[in-house]
Amino acid sequence: MEQYKKEFIEFMIDCNVLKFGDFVTKSGRKTPFFVNTGFYRTGTQLRRLGEYYAEAINNEFGTDFDVLFGPAYKGIPLTVATTVAIADMYDEDIRYCSNRKEIKDHGDKGILLGSPIEDGDKVVIIEDVTTAGTSIEETLPIIKAQGNVDVVGMVVSVDRMERGQGKKSALSEIEEKYGFKTTSIVTMKEVVEHLYNKPYRGKVVIDDTLKKAIDAYYEQYGAE
């Protein structure tokens, strides 16, 4: 596992973003782990988060694209932090764009904020975490409505590696249905590999009991 992935897993724990316990996902699944990117709350945290995203994007897609699109609301700071990081790390000036929940009818009008999306643009979508793959069904029509654009891929922070609408993972279903690549900074398999029975800051985060709960979750919801 690459060093930046190990650092990112520990970074999520330090920021209280990656939690273990009893939770319910947006799709209604009871889960022993939860990722809430709303807990990235400081400038330092957002700067580091953007760097992790930038490295994952560069590893999978390179920097030959025009716009990084983040769905409202959590995608807004993700696009800003990551485009800044791409500029700093790779000297590429990528435009950022997000959607509004309500169309603005005065001043800077329309449904988009940040850069417009234009004909011929190559777009990468950035999200926090994908569980069942439902959010892309709202996001993609907004992007496609802006013109003849090429969505080259999507990046999330954590691939939960569970079934989407069928038996395959949500990210695999997105790839097959929409025809673009997906990637993540880390997968839950990598999270478990890095934390299981290994102390971090003097505490074992994933012990045998929690590992059994995670295994049971994947027996029910894990992707084939």
β pairing state of 30-35 and 18-24: antiparallel
CA distance 79 to 132: 22
Residue 152 has pLDDT above 90, yes or no: yes
In the three-class reduction of DSSP (H, G, I as helix; E, B as strand; rest coil), residue 168 is classed as coil
Query: For the segment 28-75, what is each residue's pLDDT rounded down to a tens digit?
Result: 889 999 999 889 999 999 999 999 999 999 999 999 999 999 998 889
* Mean per-residue pLDDT, 117-135: 86
* Mean per-residue pLDDT, 5-9: 98
35 close to 109: Cβ distance less than 8 angstroms: no
In the three-class reduction of DSSP (H, G, I as helix; E, B as strand; rest coil), residue 18 is classed as strand
Average pLDDT of the chain, as a whole number? 92
H helix or E strand, kind and range, residue 137: helix 136-144
**In sequence order, what are the residues at sequence separation of 6 or more whose Cβ sits closer than 8 angstroms to the Cβ of residue 79?**
68, 69, 70, 96, 97, 98, 114, 126
Query: Which residues are catalytic, by number?
Result: 104, 106
CA distance 125 to 182: 9
pLDDT band at 167, cuts 50/70/90?
Answer: confident
Residue 151 has pLDDT above 70, yes or no: yes
pLDDT for res 27: 76
pLDDT for res 161: 92
Q: Give the predicted TM-score (pTM) of the model.
A: 0.92
Residue 189 to residues 174, 193, 211, 213, Cα–Cα distance (Å): 20, 6, 11, 14
pLDDT for res 108: 59
β-partners of residue 186 are 158
